[in-house]
Amino acid sequence: MIERVPAAIVLAVCVVMLLRLAIGERRRYRFDAFFRRLGWRLRRAGSSIWHWRDARREAERARKAADDLIKRARDRGDWDGNVYTPKSFRKPPRDKMH
């Protein structure tokens, strides 16, 4: 079964090339231009899909990094309404020995 797929592809390419030889010169130019445009469109579509997938992965990575940063910020301070006071701003206890 799997051997038939490459054989079918090769047969289809041979038939297309034979058809190209059978048509006239003017139609051959149009035929070639059609397949050139088709090739560029397929390449562009593949490139768009590839870049979209990379952008989606990068956005997901950025979203996770932002969530981690927000979680760490919540644990490092206190909220009083909409005022955030980091724990690092607290003063050390006064030394009552002196």
Domain count of the fold of the chain? 1
**Per residue of the chain (98 residues), what is the pLDDT tens digit?**
888 999 999 999 999 999 999 998 899 999 999 999 999 999 999 999 999 999 999 999 999 999 998 888 777 777 788 887 777 776 777 777 66
Identity of residue 29: Y
| Residue 53 within any structural domain of the chain | yes
| Residue 83 within any structural domain of the chain | no
| Residue 90 within any structural domain of the chain | no
Residues 29-67: b if buried by 16+ CB within 10 A, e if exposed: eeeeeeeeeeeeeeeeeeeeeeeeeeeeeeeeeeeeeee
- Residue 47: give the domain boundaries: 4-78
Q: Write down the pTM of the prediction.
A: 0.51
